[in-house]
Structure 1
Amino acid sequence: MADIFLSYSRADRPKAQQIAKALEQEGFTVWWDKILRAGQTYDEVTEGMLRDARVVIVLWSEVSVKSKWVRAEATLGERTSTVIPAMIQDAERPIMFELTQSADLIGWDGDHEDSRWKGFVADIRLALERAESKAEAAPAAIEPSASPRDATIENTFWTSIADSDDGADYEAYLSRYPDGHFVDLARNRLAGLAKAAAPAAAAQTPAPPGRPAAPKLEPAPPPASKPNRLIPAGIGLAVLALGGGIAAMVMSGPQPERPAVEAPVEEDPMAAFSDCDTCPTMIPIPAGSFQMGSPATEAGRTGNEDPLHEVTLPSFAIGQTEITFDEWDACVAGGGCNGFEPSDRGYGKGLQPVIGVSWTDANAYARWLSSKTGRTYRLPTEAEWEYAARGGTATAYWWGDYFDAAIAPSRAPVPVDTLVENPFGLKGMLGNAREWVEDCYINNYTSAPTDGTAQLAGDCARRVLRGGAWGRDPDDHRAANRARIDRNVRDKVFGFRVVTSDLSAE
């Protein structure tokens, strides 16, 4: 086992070699030369060395700060040991490492008497001493029967590219992980980027010589009586289906003698939609069946998750994210939510999940949203929430059976748009804030509904909370985990998202 794992970009290999040899001269053992033996994979070796090393040194340069692989190593290393960043070039560090003190080795030429080098070495020795003391104080660990492959560089790398609009990121993922957890999502993103790029490419293609340019079609403004569902991105239409009719088109440019009339195109019923600028984005979820609860073999389970039972649900739409402070403030400004303005507890507002709201408050928001949009909104039922949170999976978490802090925030709430999507395209279902659901609390599922409806008999003074929250145990983040709380409690980690069963396009 090496004392130090050295993370660096391939472009910085000469400097990494210089630093590694200097550290070895100081008496440390360093793993830095990433050479694989026959039959080994990069991730297999790297993850093993990361978990075994007591200190991870990350060399930040103009290249490495942009390297998703270096970021992934640094993030995984932070979860298993002490990370000591070192600046070897003047570069802007990734946001999550900006608050970590970095050693200044910019322009360091190998001089062991340089005060900066001495300070760097002293920090490493102190970190190693602390790691050794911690190891001696901890009880002997029980080796797991299987390696926790779900807390890996793969997941960490995927987290870093999940919202990318650069197809090269997804190509890199598919090349590295042809059988990975997110292969289908990566291919879908590539297809979506290609589809979005096609109309732009077509628009830039000049018309053949001697032929007039195609007329430009502009849709007339839609009626203002009620907001319409969003049309799926990537569909270029010259005719819009509105309320069963065809919107009038304004034609500019040369007029063809008899322009062809395109057939009305029906809106995709499973496309994301938002009923107004300050309304939540809703993701339609297909009808289906799933096993609700947890099996007896699931680590961290509790008795109120019994018995495992099949539930069959009709389609519905659920908020892609938790309701944000921006969305809550719009409710207050619109005369709803009983005028209650929850504190952000110092975490900020905007796209942060609204927190410190009770079940009663959450229902007040749903009523206001229904009144504003004309579409009926409500809190999700327990079954709807768990079905959506699992995203078609049956493991403890939608990404696998082991908790991954790179997917579920563990130190503080984060803006809802920064989280990784589950297979249904939902963010933050297993983390960020805990989420209220509609159901009254019952101790087990013996008499629970099997059609996806809410449990409205039982302890209705206490309602159910689902999903984990920052600062909570990994077991709390499992898809099956349940908690019961008085419906009027406004705890700092309590938030919510909304659901609608009204999927009409009107």
Structure 2
Amino acid sequence: MSDIFLSYAREELERVRPLIQALEAQGWEVWRDEKIPTGRRYDQVIATALGEARCVLVIWSQASVNSDWVPDEAARGRTRGVLIPAQIDDIELPLGFGMYQTAKLMGWNGDTADPEFRKITEEVTRLIGAPAQMEQTVPPVEEPHIEEQQADDSIDTPQVPKPEPARQKTTGRGVWLAVVVGVIAVGFYVFWQLQKPQVVFNNSIGMEFVRIEAGTFRMGWDAPEAFSDEQPVRWVHIRQPFDLSKYEVTQAQWKAVMVGEKNPSHFQGDNLPVESVSWDKVREFIRKLNEKEKTDAYHLPTEAEWEYAAR
């Protein structure tokens, strides 16, 4: 199953290749007809890929509006409610598609900070979520044996201090701050002391980011008291390294991005974590942070990325 089915006129592959590369660089898998294996029937492979894709990105052009395939593929995406339209030529859109918000990529030069390109990434994120940069494997029937080494008695167990209210705490989910700030502070204090991840960069508002290397871990919980969304336990492979904020977003950082917005925090202080934040405001913060930093790379960590980093 691919993330994005790309519907376009085959003769314009080189025109849309920069878009494919930009989307894949974000971490999404993009299916296009050049992936059809030799000897397979086009219609069968395309129908399967179109039905399985999590969203359908149609590229309207002078050639594609006259194509036998593209309008039909777009109609199927529309029927499923997963259609994302964009156009690379200044043309009249086919009947039935003109009422949809369409990204205007005429003259687009590959800039991922371009507002029209971001319309696409924001809509993909809305439909299927931020790119996970990971693949899940089928849970094994029997869990592989992993030899556990006993800790050396000479190594002191790290002492976990009580979290200080004025100190930045480590997390990746700003929307949860008011609820779990103490728990996260303790868990990540041990993580930073033992693993010592390297700070790879600071952005313009002072957020520190550390590199989380690619790897495999066992995701979920198989205890009787586990919630349904924690099961089944499965092995997850994080395919690419990613960067994660070392600390929670402070109120000073929040105000630097959300200019003119009221600070929602109950406990006020520039160096305190921002809290009492709604999901919509978190999304708005990320959108404005991307604009401020002239990128499209910032997003909330996925459940897999978050759990992997916490381990």
Q: Would you call these one fold, judging by a TM-score over 0.5?
A: no
Q: TM-score, normalised by structure 1?
A: 0.25
Greater RCO (CA < 8 Å, at least 6 residues apart): 2
More helix by share: 2
Q: TM-score, normalised by structure 2?
A: 0.40
